[in-house]
Structure 1
Amino acid sequence: MMHRRHWLRKIQVPVIWAIAVLFAAGVIWWSVATFMSSRNNNPNPASGSLKIEDTVAYLTKAGSPLDDERYWITYTEFTGEVQDALNNLKRQGVVLDPYFGDSQLPSEIDYRYGILTNLVDQKILSYYALDKGIYPTKEELNAKVDEIVNQYISNDQYKLQIEQLYGSVDAFRNLVEKYVAGDLLRTKVVQDVFPNIDNDVKKYFEESKEEIKNQYEKVDASHILVDSEASATEIKSMIESGKISFSEAASEFSIDAQSASLGGSLGSFGHGQMIPEFEEAAFSATPGVIVGPVETQYGYHLIEVATKTTFDTYDELVKSSVYDQVKSDYQNQEFTNWLKEYKTKEAFGYVINEPDLKLYEEYKKADSEEAKTAFFEKLESTLFDSEGNIIISSSFLVPALYVQLADEKLNNLDSEIYKLKDMEKLYESLPATVLSLSTEDIQSKIDELSDSTDDALKTLYSDAKRLKDYEEELGLAEKDAVTERLAELETVKESLNSKFKSVVMFLYENIPYSSKVVEYAYNVDNTNPEIVYRFNEQKYNQNLKPLLMDPSTLESYVNYYKQYFGDSARSFLIDYPLQSIEQELNQKIINPTDVATDLKLNSLFLLVDAYEKLANVYADTPVYQLYLMGEKRYLEELDNLMPGDENINSRISIIEGLLKTPSASPTSEATE
């Protein structure tokens, strides 16, 4: 492939819903992180009898609490910020797992912690602004809020959408005011700290020109990939003579299936994202002029650049479309560095009172193995009584963190146990003459045998080298010591695994709506019918259903994966995952006689839904009737459990009619 990672950056690996979720979360996260502000925008301290120990957190300076309530984070302020942020996510269809995050989304507790630390930074910026006499006035705040709100409500369509999303224009204005307050404060501090930002950026450009060019220069291009130079030259002549357009030629002739489906478009890319020959040609091209044929290891390319952003001088950078981004990125990084230095110089700190956030910070800061071990032992002593029973509390954070750390420990134990068992085998299988050799001698033997055809001898010394590597890594050099260590670790693993399973099932009983808890529970007990159903329902809802409900996206995914799986791409995306779900639901829920009827019904309805949606997506293909028959099969099983149900019988009758009419159109139910 031309692109070092993917041809098409607009399409990543499944799950499709996760892409939209990640984008939405990123937008909101940075809004919260950058513009978080206090609900009380008045710099004057509030009156009242609030005690510092009754706050979520408070600032300290040189280890001493700041008595001024402006530097306290109250429960009202914090919960308001959190709720607003979570509501924003929910409006975009994003619901965070309470305690378990992943590579795409943070957990809710991590999100809350991020909001807290940003509020802490906001309080520190307030301290700086008040000290410098630059804190935003109420008049400045109102003027900026009015400007933004009026831009939206002046358009009747936008105004209606605002009222639908936020309930009223006033509610929307309150939300805007909160973010603007933080933005205005930050802007004033930035202007004070960096009064000559354009000169700073110019100096940065002069010192880091190549780095900036590599990061920000980009082209938006399309290409046609063919097998031979002659074909490329012929197609180029057809395009230049007007017989066919570039996009039409890409769709018809390009062997890059993914970009061909988009008229050859590769979208926008920068330096280092394409192989060198292609990149050089694209960045050297004149927009609108076809370049090529360009030979690469993949074939011959014709390239058409739509737009190009390049610069060689600071003045050219300033006139380019990326200057604002360069300036913003530079300023943000410098501001982050300044804030870190300011906090150190002024000896700022903070104390967290809220128990879960306090514990979570301890977890976040336990970054060394020693710190993790100490924290894990603390969790264990908090979670279990002297008899090994789980101590129930009002929060599930302790068991959630315990499970995550225990899972990590078990994985590490499995890895070390595997190595120790391999060492035992090597001690038993390797000749004494080889075991007695030093690491250097073994390496010399391996080097000598590099051109040898004696595979058995090569394997012998390769095994010996692996044993020496294990000995150095684990600090063990004798078989008896290995056996002793192995027995010790297996005992530790058995004990830890028992506790791990009990805590997982405790979490499952209490927060079964957590997708990660369901996944853990399935790994612990994949014979429990309820767990099996929840796990497979989760797989269907997250991985398959979104694709089946959006045929155009499914088609894009199929086209993308054709470069890896050819005509089996659809099976890879849809058929194989569905077969896995179907097989397990049948074997563990539908077919057994001792499983609750409700679980059987739920499983059958899930499979009916899947096959109905598949039939609608592929109504004009040879597999259409196969999917209809799959749907009919599970409807008939539903009819056995729910005899006389009119909806089921009606649907069966419709399918029987459709099976006699291969060209039938999709039904409306599956698109709802």
Structure 2
Amino acid sequence: MSNLRKITALLLVVLMVALTGCGAKEENGVTTEGVTKVDRTNAVAVVNDEVVDIDTFNIYYAMYETAYKQYYGEDILTQEFEGVKFGDVLREDILDMLVQDSLIRSYVLSTGFTIKDDVFKEKYDELKAMLEEDTETKTMYDTIGVTDAFLEKQVQGSILMEEFTNTVNGMIDAETARLEELYKTEPVQVSARHILVADEETAAEVKTKLDAGEDFAELVTQYSTDTGSVATGGDLGYFPRGVMVAEFEEAAFTQPIGEIGEPVQSSFGYHIIKVEDRQTIAELIEAGEDEAVINDFKQQIKDSLYNEYYTKKIDELKAAASIETFIDKVTPKTEG
């Protein structure tokens, strides 16, 4: 199921990360003798007495449904992955997202943060202007019933999410000892060379020759289809994360220095990789690297920690919260 959740997270319709749809307590409950009674009639979740309403859920679901069908075909929601229909996974993911959004909204507002009118107006006007230019999205929003009130909540939510992001980044900045250790131990750039060939059979042939002691540069000239690096004996120089395709990057950042790894397949073909060197931030500082470059690498390491600390904070909020969910209200018996 975890892989499916990653898939659903990849596709974002406009402002899908926005916090929205959580009605204020005074709008959804009545107070009698100091006790708040929450009306659960239209609730898909109740988070600390705050209602996540079914209409908001349905709008989000319709957005995702439209996008997924457009990109993956009309039958995507009925397809099964690991024995579970994709539509059911999507429903669970949207519900979990809205629960998290409610927790984040309440937390940020509890810190005393307020949304300034001028900031809200600027972002709302930007969203409206974008929708006017993007007629396809505007038509889709109109079709599924997105109202101005819904858009206003999305803008409010996006501002609150920005503040929550600042909170998470503050948690990371406070981890000075851990960051200093990562600056010393985490490779931030790699120097490698490779031979790129079209098929597995040729890759195995080249690897056998390399294992027998034949010269890497000569085999680059003889076999490699990467014309850009043939003249340098396959040398790609130093490169950071996020530059190469994922399969190549994974091998380059984990393979032992000086060794020639097993062929790695990517969309370009098969790579035979030799890692020449890896450098940490501490090593770059010692080598006199420019401060701006160092700061960029430090930020990359902080960014790599974001999901961990975001999840940590969300788990903390969940543990302290009262949460009820009603997935049965949005799970049909059949789906065609």
- Cα 1:273/1:48, change in 2 over 3 Å: same
- Report what 1:52 is aligned to: 39
CA distance 1:324–1:169, change in 2 (3 Å): farther
Q: How far 1:93 moved relative to its partner?
A: 3.4
- 1:120 aligns to what SS in structure 2? helix
| Contact 1:25–1:105 under 8 Å retained in 2 | no
1:280 aligns with: 257
2:108 paired residue number: 129
| One of 147, 150, 157 as aligned partner of 1:182 | 157
Q: Tell me what 2:20 maps to.
A: 38
- SS of the residue aligned with 1:38? coil
Distance 2:39 2:311 in 1: 28
The letter of the residue matching 1:83 is A
Q: 1:199 aligns with which of 173, 185, 196?
A: 173
Matches of 1:97 and 1:195 in 2, distance apart? 36
- 1:4 match: none
- Report deviation, 1:130: 2.8
CA change 1:104–1:222 in 2 (3 A) is: farther
Q: 1:318 and 1:178, CA in 2 relative to 1: closer, same or farther beyond 3 A?
A: farther
**Matched residue, 1:72:** 51
Report matched runs for 1:412-491 at 5 Å: none
1:119 Cα deviation after fit:
1.2
2:280 counterpart SS class: coil
Within-5 A mapping of 1:539-554: none
TM-superposed deviation, 1:249: 8.7
Q: Specify the code of the residue in structure 2 equivalent to 1:349.
A: S
Relative to 1, partners in 2 of residues 1:350 and 1:168: Cα closer, same or farther, differing over 3 Å?
A: closer
**Which residue is 2:71 aligned to?**
92
CA contact (8 A) 2:190 2:278 kept: yes
Report what 2:333 is aligned to: 395
Listed one character per residue, the Cα deviations across residues 369-416 of structure 1 (whole Å, up to 9, x for unaligned) are xxxxxxxxxxxxxxxxxxxxxxxxx724xxxxxxxxxxxxxxxxxxxx
Contact 1:57 1:353 (8 Å CA) reproduced? yes
Q: Aligned with 2:324: secondary structure?
A: strand
Asked whether the 8 Å contact 1:37–1:181 carries over to 2, the reply is yes
Residue 27 (str. 1) matches residue 27 (str. 2):
no
Residue matched to 2:322: 349
Question: Structure 2 matches for 1:202-281, cutoff 5 A?
Answer: 202-209=176-183, 212-213=186-187, 217=189, 222-223=194-195, 226=206, 227=209, 232=216, 234=218, 247=227, 267=245, 269-270=248-249, 272=251, 276=255, 280-281=257-258
Gaps of 5+ in 1: 1-20, 255-264, 282-293, 361-393, 397-510, 514-672
The 5-angstrom pairing of residues 593-672 of structure 1 reads none
Measure, in 1, the Cα distance between the counterparts of 2:83 and 2:128.
32
Distance 1:173 1:324 in 2: 38
SS at match of 1:54: coil
Distance 1:104 1:22 in 2: 14
Matched residues in 2 for 1:92 and 1:72: separation?
A: 32
Identity of aligned residues (%): 11
1:349 Cα offset (Å)? 2.0
1:37 touches 1:178 (CA, 8 Å); kept in 2?
yes
User: What SS does the corresponding residue of 1:351 show, helix, strand or coil?
Assistant: strand
Q: Provide the residue aligned with 2:306 in structure 1.
A: 331
Contact 2:257 2:275 in 1 (8 A): no
Spell out, residue by residue over 1:220-271, the C-alpha distance to the aligned partner (whole angstroms, 9 max, x if none).
75425743655655467899xxxx9961896xxx9xxxxxxxxxx9746346
- TM alignment of 1:304-323, pairs within 5 A: 310-313=279-282, 319=293, 323=298
**For residue 173 of structure 2, what is the amino acid of its counterpart?**
N
Would the alpha carbon gap of residues 123 and 181 (structure 1) be closer, same or farther in structure 2, given more than 3 Å must change? Answer: same
| Aligned residues of 2:19 and 2:105 also touching (Cα < 8 A) | no
Q: Are the structure 2 counterparts of residues 31 and 270 from structure 1 closer, same or farther at C-alpha, using a change threshold of 3 Å?
A: farther
CA distance in 2 between partners of 1:232 and 1:85 (Å): 49
Structure 1 residue 54: deviation in Å? 0.7
Does residue 164 (structure 1) correspond to residue 146 (structure 2)? The answer is no
Distance 1:177 1:104 in 2: 38
Alignment of 1:453-602 (within 5 A): none
Larger radius of gyration: 1
Distance 1:322 1:248 in 2: 26
| Aligned counterparts of 2:300 and 2:83: Cα–Cα separation in 1 | 24
How many Å apart are 1:187 and its aligned residue? 2.1
Q: Which has the higher contact order (CA 8 A, sep 6+)?
A: 2
Are the aligned partners of 2:42 and 2:54 in contact in 1 as well (CA < 8 Å)?
Answer: yes
Question: Normalized against structure 1, the TM-score is what?
Answer: 0.34
> Conserved in 1, the CA contact under 8 Å of 2:69 and 2:76?
no
Instruction: Summarize deviations over 1:404-448 as a string: whole Å, max 9, x none.
Output: xxxxxxxxxxxxxxxxxxxxxxxxxxxxxxxxxxxxxxxxxxxxx
Shift of the 167–230 alpha-carbon distance from structure 1 to 2, 3 Å rule, reads same
Going from structure 1 to structure 2, the CA distance change for 1:55 and 1:266 (only over 3 Å counts) comes to: closer
- The CA distance in 2 between the partners of 1:24 and 1:295, in whole Å, is 33
**Take 1:352 and 1:58, find their aligned partners in 2: how far apart are those partners?**
4
Mark the runs of 5 or more structure 2 residues left unpaired by the alignment. 31-36, 197-202, 235-242, 264-271
Q: More strand by proportion, 1 or 2?
A: 2
Report the Cα distance in structure 2 between the residues aligned to 1:303 and 1:79, rounded to whole angstroms: 52
Instruction: Work out whether residues 56 and 353 of structure 1, in 8 Å CA contact, stay in contact via their aligned partners in 2.
Output: yes
1:107 to 73, 86, 96: 86
Aligned-pair Cα RMSD in Å: 5.2
Query: How many residue pairs were aligned?
Result: 288
Distance 1:186 1:166, change over 3 A: same
How much has 1:330 moved relative to structure 2? Answer: 1.7
Structure 1 residue 114: deviation in Å?
A: 1.5
Distance of 1:169 and 1:81 partners within structure 2: 10
Give the Cα–Cα distance (whole angstroms) in 1 for the partners of residues 157 and 18 of structure 2: 5
How far apart in 2 are the matches of 1:271 and 1:94?
A: 31
- CA spacing shift, 1:312–1:129, aligned 2, 3 Å: closer
